[in-house]
């Protein structure tokens, strides 16, 4: 696929996917959703970590209400099932670590696209907003799933009903995101974090993602068994062997990835 509304760069095992409609605050169109899905699936096969960020001063303002596919005749359920769901799954199910580098406002589906990532790093001037109630809708694109799990029932309900802006610092304090970073340090910080993941033990990172996500549906005995199974697999990898040798030799490990 030729990309028109996103940009994908893969360098040194790190993929950076940039939403590229800066003049529209990177609002989502039907084409952009398809491009994100394709780019994420490509990056998952060719990189060891993926960063999603926005061009210009915004991360993503959500659905582009001026898009031809967003007229009053749009079937919202169909759009969510056929366009949003594949996009969101391409991020959430990505086998390698993902970072949402939120460089500015993240609203509506744009906020929830960010929350799909394993780690959200936001610049302090950014904010998150579940804007749906302003037009008579519910938070979609996974919002009703991510928010209560990450910041609790009370905060999730308030965010959905009042549609207030949640500053990056608030989001950090409430547990909605991993960290808020000073604007001046933002780019170098997420680049350093992303490089750490791209150079790390890829199979081990994948197992970490699986273990933590499965814990929500497991009893403790079930989770202990999951840990045992995944740890057994990790123990057979060359990355584990290298990590042990590097520790004993008191040097940084050189992980090979997949």
Residue 117 to residues 49, 182, 211: CA-CA distances in angstroms? 11, 20, 16
Q: Which residue has the higher pLDDT, 169 or 79?
A: 169
- pTM for the whole thing? 0.93
Query: What does the alpha-carbon distance between residue 7 and residue 4 come to, in Å, rounded to a whole number?
Result: 8
Cα–Cα nearest to 126, from 102, 160, 107: 102
The answer to whether 135 and 88 have CB atoms below 8 angstroms apart is: no
Q: Which two tokens stand for residue 69?
A: 């596919």
Q: How far is CA 187 from CA 42, 133, 160, 173, in A?
A: 24, 32, 30, 21
Q: How far apart are alpha carbons 91 and 29 in whole angstroms?
A: 17
What residue spans define the domains of the chain?
6-198, 202-248
| CATH code linked to domain 6-198 | 3.90.226.10
Contact 55, 103 (CB under 8 A): no
Q: Is the pLDDT of residue 73 over 70?
A: no
User: Helix, strand, or coil here: 247?
Assistant: helix
pLDDT one-digit tens code per residue, 185-229: 999 999 999 999 999 999 999 999 999 999 999 999 999 999 999
Supply the Cα-derived Rg of the chain in whole angstroms: 19
Q: Could you tell me the fold of the domain covering 202-248?
A: Lyase 2-enoyl-coa Hydratase; Chain  A, domain 2 (1.10.12)
């Amino acid at each position: 696929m030729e990309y028109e509304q996103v940009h994908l760069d893969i360098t040194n095992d790190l993929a950076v996917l940039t939403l590229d409609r800066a003049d529209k605050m990177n609002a989502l169109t039907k084409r952009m959703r398809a491009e994100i899905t394709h780019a994420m699936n490509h990056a998952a096969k060719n990189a060891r970590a993926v960063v999603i960020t926005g061009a210009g001063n915004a991360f993503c303002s959500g659905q582009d209400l001026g898009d031809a596919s967003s007229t009053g005749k749009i079937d919202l359920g169909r759009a969510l099932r056929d366009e949003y769901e594949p996009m969101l799954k391409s991020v959430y199910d990505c086998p390698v670590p993902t970072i949402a580098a939120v460089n500015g406002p993240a609203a509506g589906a744009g906020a929830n696209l960010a929350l799909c990532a394993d780690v959200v790093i936001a610049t302090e001037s950014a904010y998150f907003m579940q804007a749906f109630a302003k037009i008579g809708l519910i938070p979609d694109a996974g919002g009703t799933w991510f928010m209560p799990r990450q910041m609790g029932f009370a905060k999730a309900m308030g965010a959905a009903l009042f549609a207030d802006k949640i500053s990056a610092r608030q989001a950090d304090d409430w547990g909605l995101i991993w960290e808020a970073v000073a604007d001046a340090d933002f780019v170098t910080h997420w680049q350093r974090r992303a490089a750490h993941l791209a150079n790390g033990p890829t199979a081990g990172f994948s197992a970490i993602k699986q273990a933590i996500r499965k814990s929500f549906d497991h009893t403790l005995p079930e989770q202990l068994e999951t840990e045992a199974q995944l740890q057994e697999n990790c123990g057979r990898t060359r990355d584990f062997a290298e990590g042990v040798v590097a520790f004993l030799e008191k040097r940084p490990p050189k992980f090979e990835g997949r």
